[in-house]
């Protein structure tokens, strides 16, 4: 097979460009490792990002970028990088390492249930990894603690709700009793007013009785006067003496 000079030149240029990007990725990766060993995780992350940009297929840059972000407390970002590493790698051991770190990232986010899933994925690929087994047990204990705390919180909330219900029920009962008392007082007042309207004013009744008594006494006085007048009239006329009979 013969190649034309133009095609050969293009092939050489492509190889040279690819080699250039690969070299840039290697240089950036090496710088990132140096920063990482010194504890400068921010600079290491920037270098790993450059390496990842130069060669997106290099799983090392992606994995190390996740490590640098994890050290900075950027757990969601680190998790994404480790997930990319697990997808790109074909090596079960490398995948196990990626899933191990995915589990660590979930633990950093206080999500042990998700971490347990990741650790189990890691152990499926590398059952001999004792670190992953330890972290799995730790995540399971964390999940149990969270569930217990949630149960205790639910109990406390239920107690608070019951207490609030009791207080509200007591207020409603007191309000109802107060309303019933007002209604009873209002009913009694209304009945008393009705009785007063039927019987009239006691003072007025007492006054009328006194007036009636005075009228009765006046009538008796007048009647007595008439009787006395008749008696005196009889005394003035005298008593008729029967006539004597002749002998």
**What total number of domains does the chain contain?**
2
Residue 127 belongs to some domain of the structure: yes
| Shared domain check, 102 and 56 | no
> Which is nearest to 33 in space by CA: 18, 21, 51, 59?
51
Domain that holds residue 136: 83-157
What does DSSP assign to residue 246? P
Distance CA 176, CA 182 (A): 10
> At 28, which CATH number?
1.25.40.10
Q: Give the angle subtended at the CA of 172 by the CAs of 171 and 176, to the nearest 5°.
A: 120
Residue 91 belongs to some domain of the structure: yes
What pLDDT was estimated at residue 146?
A: 96
DSSP labels for 120-131?
Answer: HHHHHH-TT-HH
What pLDDT was estimated at residue 235?
A: 62
| Tens digit of pLDDT at every position of the chain (247 positions) | 443 444 434 433 444 445 676 889 899 999 999 999 999 999 999 999 999 999 988 889 999 999 999 999 999 999 999 999 999 999 999 999 999 999 999 999 999 999 999 999 999 999 999 999 999 999 999 999 999 999 998 887 877 777 788 888 888 888 888 888 888 888 787 777 776 665 544 444 345 566 766 777 777 778 778 777 776 766 655 444 333 323 2
State which of 124, 141, 157 marks the end of a domain: 157
SS3 label, residue 90: coil
Residue 129 belongs to some domain of the structure: yes
State which of 107, 128, 157 marks the end of a domain: 157
What pLDDT was estimated at residue 218?
A: 77
Distance CA 53, CA 60 (A): 12
């Amino acid at each position: 097979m013969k190649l034309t000079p133009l095609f050969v030149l293009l092939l050489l240029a492509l190889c040279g460009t690819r080699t250039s990007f690969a070299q840039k990725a290697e240089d950036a990766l090496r710088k990132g490792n140096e920063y990482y060993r010194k504890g400068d995780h921010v600079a290491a992350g920037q270098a790993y990002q450059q390496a990842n940009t130069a060669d997106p297929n290099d799983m090392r840059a992606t994995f190390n970028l996740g490590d640098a972000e994890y050290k900075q407390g950027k757990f969601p970002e680190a998790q994404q990088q480790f997930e990319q590493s697990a997808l790109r790698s074909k090596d079960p051991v490398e995948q196990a390492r990626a899933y191990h770190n995915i589990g660590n990232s979930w633990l950093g986010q206080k999500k042990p249930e998700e971490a347990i899933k990741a650790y189990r994925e890691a152990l499926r690929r590398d059952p001999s990894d004792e670190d992953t087994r330890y972290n799995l047990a730790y995540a399971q204990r964390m999940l149990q603690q969270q569930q217990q705390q949630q149960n205790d919180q639910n109990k406390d909330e239920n107690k608070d709700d019951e207490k609030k219900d009791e207080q509200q029920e007591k207020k409603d009962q007191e309000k109802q009793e107060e309303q019933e008392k007002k209604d009873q007082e209002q009913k009694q007042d209304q009945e008393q007013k009705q009785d007063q309207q039927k019987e009239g004013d006691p003072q007025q009744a007492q006054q009328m009785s006194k007036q009636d008594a005075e009228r009765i006494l006046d009538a008796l006085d007048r009647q007595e006067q008439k009787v006395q007048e008749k008696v005196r009239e009889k005394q003035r006329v005298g008593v008729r003496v029967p006539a004597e009979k002749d002998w």
